[in-house]
Chains A and B, each alone.
Chain A
Amino acid sequence: MGASIPQLLVNGVALGAAYALIALGFVLVINAVGAVNFAQGDLVMAGGFVAVAIAEYLTPWASENLPELAVVGPGSSGVGLGLVILPLTMVVMAVLGLLFSALAYAPLRHRPPVSVFISTIAVGLILQYGANAVFGPEPRIGPPLVVNGSFALGPITVSIQQLSVILAAGCLIAGTGLLLSRSQLGRQLRAVAQDPEMAEAIGISAGRCIAITFALAVALAGSAGMLLSNQFFVAPSDGGLFMLKAYIAVTLGGWGRLDGAALAALLIGIFEVMMAAFVSYVMAEALLYAGVLLVLLVRPSGLLRETIQRRT
């Protein structure tokens, strides 16, 4: 084997961390509206393209005014523009999340969940075709969060982008957890997720909370899109892959469990890399789906017990 197990673990954790961000937004929407958001993968893809667009817009300005910050394109060596692009991407995506909520969810709120997830499929298709029309079909490379390059840590070569993905995902996941568990807004969001009618009865605006949840979920998807776009590029057709991994993570982790989804996403990333290294990619994929079936058979509520009892 040409790479050490720690090296593979680092790659697996970085991949899993990005999957976790995707899964997190997925779970938030499931909890808030009780339906699967099939556009989640395409929202990740959209986040990647938003980051590319912002980077292309900012780079000429930064090159002129802050040359040490100009960081776009493969092999560039500047520092720091990605740290500006990440929050900007999340803001743009949060606005998209509000629009998503207003156009694709709110009009169907009192319809059966099937209406909502058909509507999310339509949004996903619109995003995919829209990205293709605006940016073209070719893969694009997003900006690094901090800087391109890598460093040696004993026998392991750690890419700075990989480390950035792990740290950024950790911060965003922890931040989301704190927001939901420790803040008044988080308590309101959870109240609406658990029982919207009762929440309305005690003066919480369910519509507002659901819109905020969509904004948060889509912002998280956008952050994942930006973080992945540098390491793995971004193309309009990437959404399906991300969606599939998020769905598996949520199913394995426990339907509606934020911590379960994050844990399962990490495990999926590590499992994929390890199995591909020691067996093959084809077997890794097959065994992943076999594992999902096994978990559903042995422990249908997921690795951590699910918080809501309905699966669409």
Chain B
Amino acid sequence: MIRRVVLLTALAALATITTSPTIANAKDAYIPILVPITGFIALEGTAQRNGAIQALENAPEGVTVTYEVSDTSTSPEVAVTALHRALERGKPVAAAASIFGTQMLAMAPIAQRAGVPLITVSGTAKLTELGNPYIFRFFPGDEVVKVAHARYAVEVLGAKRPALLYQTTSYGQSGRAQLAKILKDLGAPLVFEEALAPSVKDMLPALAKLRAAKPDVILLHLHSGPTALAIRQAREAGIDLPVVAGSAMHQPSTAKLLAPAQLSGVCAESAASPISESDAKLVAFTKEFRTRFHTEPDAFALAQYDGINMVLAALKDGADNAEQVRDWLAGHTFEGLAMTYKSDGKGNMAHDALIVCYDGASLLPTIAKRYHNVDGAL
């Protein structure tokens, strides 16, 4: 009976995962978008999807692309199924792939066997340490953004006793490992840390223990909803310490969950913050994004946009199959809207990070500090 339930549930889920069934024209380059648009990481996955679509809809002259969107939800199995289906439909020249590290780790070996580059914004450090030449990460990995995260807390805010709340997911574990190491190297080891499942709603117990450890700054490495919950509950509990959060906090939709006053003293690491920039090209990107998707762009959308644009640049430059696209990505430097992208030999394409801060009066963050070429790969 249970097997029947599982089977029927899986069938129902499969029936809903493909959201844009476009049949590939044999002459077109085929780029499937395999991202989580449902589940607890749907916010980030939707930003990825939107960024990829905006890039594909603006493909350069002479490059014709067919794409489709498949929802990978939150399980590795669904992500793998989506990739298999994409491979069955045609030979992709590349695929926009999930931000969710657990799913990427499952998809990576399949993409390698099929010889298809995966263009992702997943921050999970392990992803580019597997020796898989088909992984290209356009969002700075934890070895970049967590350096900015820790250095800002220690060097700018003067933290000596940081405390950390992180997620139990692979994203959280990876960030926690990097932060703990970097903070120790900077002479400010963590005085408190606790892992929270994405389902945890009442964070008072963790905040109570955190307060008892007498930290001087709170570091968060949580997804969007939990980030807002942690900040809100900390402020309600009278914990007014400065907060340096993970990239989820730079997302406009996260800030909307909080009152401006609750954001006083809150900063966040990110690769970019499109809504905070005044550069004309970024302003144009943001304007088109708002018009097209009726929402604000974030760094994940911009990174995926840049990643797909680099694939399109490869196609424009004459690459006409997955192997040639892979070689082009591995061997060229690309000027994206957010930063300059170049592979470090492992598929890490992004090497800059920045810190945005809220002023306590509005929900629009300003860029407080930029960290260029953090890992020295450029």
- Given contact pairs A3-B237, A129-B16, A274-B205, a sample of 9 additional A-B residue pairs in the complex whose CB atoms are under 8 Å apart: A2-B207, A8-B208, A122-B8, A128-B38, A141-B257, A157-B238, A232-B201, A233-B257, A276-B205
User: Does A276 lie within 8 Å of B206, measured CB to CB?
Assistant: yes
Nearest chain A CB to B43 CB, angstrom units: 5
User: Does A117 lie within 8 Å of B5, measured CB to CB?
Assistant: yes
| Chain B contacts for A76, CB-based, 8 A | 259
Most chain A C-beta atoms within 10 Å of own C-beta, residue among B205, B224, B259? B205
Binds A, one of B225-233, B274-282, B327-335, B338-346: B225-233
| Chain B contacts for A266, CB-based, 8 A | none
**8 nearest A-B pairs in the assembled complex, by CB-CB distance:** A75-B259, A2-B211, A137-B42, A3-B208, A277-B205, A276-B205, A138-B253, A139-B225
Determine whether A84 belongs to the interface, using a CB cutoff of 8 Å to chain B.
no
Binds A, one of B84-92, B190-198, B299-307: B190-198
Q: Which of A137, A159, A233, A278 contacts B37 (CB 8 A)?
A: A137
User: Does A150 lie within 8 Å of B236, measured CB to CB?
Assistant: yes
Q: List 14 A-B contacts (CB under 8 A).
A: A1-B209, A2-B207, A2-B212, A74-B256, A75-B258, A114-B4, A118-B5, A139-B225, A140-B257, A231-B201, A237-B38, A237-B74, A282-B168, A282-B197
User: Does B38 lie within 8 Å of A281, measured CB to CB?
Assistant: no
- Residue interface mask A272-285, B partner, CB < 8 A = 1: 11101110111001
Complexed CA–CA distance, A235 and B208 (Å): 26
**Chain B residue with the shortest CB-CB distance to A131:** B38
8 Å CB contacts to A: which residues of B233-272? 236-238, 253-254, 256-262
| Chain B contacts for A235, CB-based, 8 A | 40, 42-43, 225
Query: Interface on A for B, CB 8 Å cutoff?
Result: 1-3, 7-8, 11-12, 15, 73-76, 114, 117-118, 121-122, 125, 128-129, 132, 136-141, 150, 157, 159, 228, 231-233, 235-237, 240-241, 272-274, 276-278, 280-282, 285
Nearest chain A CB to B113 CB, angstrom units: 31
**Majority secondary structure, B binding face:** helix
User: Does A157 lie within 8 Å of B237, measured CB to CB?
Assistant: yes
Interface size class of B (residues with CB under 8 A): 35 or more
User: Does A114 lie within 8 Å of B238, measured CB to CB?
Assistant: no
Nearest chain B CB to A312 CB, angstrom units: 9
Complexed CA–CA distance, A8 and B253 (Å): 29
Q: Which of B38, B238, B254 contacts A137 (CB 8 A)?
A: B38
| Chain A contacts for B13, CB-based, 8 A | 125
Nearest chain A CB to B121 CB, angstrom units: 16
Nearest chain A CB to B198 CB, angstrom units: 9
Q: Which of A117, A118, A157, A236 contacts B236 (CB 8 A)?
A: A157
User: Does A237 lie within 8 Å of B40, measured CB to CB?
Assistant: yes
User: Does A2 lie within 8 Å of B208, measured CB to CB?
Assistant: yes
**Chain A residue with the shortest CB-CB distance to B17:** A129
User: Does B42 lie within 8 Å of A236, measured CB to CB?
Assistant: yes
| Chain B contacts for A138, CB-based, 8 A | 43, 224, 253-254, 256
